[in-house]
């Protein structure tokens, strides 16, 4: 289930976000630990919703401050822009 829009999807339609070893939110299916999921086709929008509604802390079961969530949203924006420029 997407942590942002709360839509239930298959795992191949979702991307996994975890807290990395540096304490930052990271997109990875390989990092250990509890993960939160975002819709892959609308990851930026769903991450923004999750940040606005403070769902990261609940989904990851640990404190996630607004700055961490905003850095993830910024990283997703950059990735989206790079994909569009190709």
For residue 22, what pLDDT is reported? 86
Average pLDDT along the chain, 86 residues, taken 10 residues at a time:
97 94 89 94 94 94 92 90 75
Domain boundaries, the chain: 11-85
Task: Give domain 11-85's CATH architecture.
Answer: 2-Layer Sandwich (3.30)
User: Which residues touch 13 (CB under 8 Å, ≥6 apart)?
Assistant: 39, 40, 41
Judge if pTM exceeds 0.75.
Answer: yes
State residue 67's pLDDT score: 93
């Amino acid at each position: 289930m997407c942590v942002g829009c709360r839509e239930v999807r298959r795992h191949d339609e979702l991307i996994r976000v975890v807290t990395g070893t540096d304490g930052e939110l990271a997109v990875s299916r390989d990092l250990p630990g509890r993960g939160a999921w975002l819709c892959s086709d609308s990851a930026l929008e769903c991450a923004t919703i999750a940040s606005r509604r403070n769902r990261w802390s609940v989904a990851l079961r640990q404190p996630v401050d607004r700055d961490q969530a905003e850095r993830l949203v910024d990283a997703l924006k950059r990735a989206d822009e790079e994909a569009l420029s190709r």
